[in-house]
Amino acid sequence: MRATKYTLVFFTILIIFHCKTKPIVTVPGGWINQEINAPIVIKSFDFLKKEAKLNFKNIEILEVLTAKTQVVAGTNVALNCKYKLKEKKASNLNAIINIDLEKKYTLIKFDFTAPKGLVAP
């Protein structure tokens, strides 16, 4: 009887401890924070700067503030960047770049009205 009592207490403590520790779980298809100096972020930022110069006049994209990635059929990279238009103060923008399975980069979203830190839909 005494062994059963201790076994019950042991398993109760084990269950409580297990419930209090939360494993890191990523949601399939969810957005994952990335370091701004990660290679995928640097390559996407370089692509974004080139696309911005081709499509918008007088824009200078200054730096990446935050970045996230999402694995889809390829990878989506969401960047929150600081940019500056000619003769105006710096502001923030959001961009989402898709990198397909053949490593082709495509700009799929470009939003000039982004607050700092808001990178993924």
Q: Kindly state the average pLDDT of the residues 9-21.
A: 59
- State the pLDDT at residue 28: 66
Please spell the DSSP secondary structure of 52-104, one letter per residue: HHHHSTTEEEEEEEEEEEEEESEEEEEEEEEEEETTS--EEEEEEEEE-TT--
Whole-number Cα distances in Å, 44 to 15, 33, 53, 103: 45, 15, 14, 11
CATH number of the domain to which 87 belongs: 3.10.450.10
Query: Is residue 6 domain-resident?
Result: no
Residue 40: inside a domain, yes or no?
Answer: yes
Whether residue 64 has pLDDT greater than 90: yes
- In angstroms, the CA 16 to CA 7 distance is 14
pLDDT for the residue numbered 29: 73
Instruction: Report how many domains make up the chain.
Output: 1
Residue 1 in any domain: the answer is: no
Q: Residue 74 domain-assigned?
A: yes
Task: Note the pLDDT tens digit of each residue in 23-51.
Answer: 545 566 789 999 999 999 999 999 999 99
pLDDT for 94: 87
Kindly state whether residue 102 falls inside one of the protein's structural domains: yes
Q: What is the pLDDT of residue 15?
A: 65
Residue 16 lies in a domain: no
Q: Write out the residue range of the structural domain in which residue 48 sits.
A: 29-111
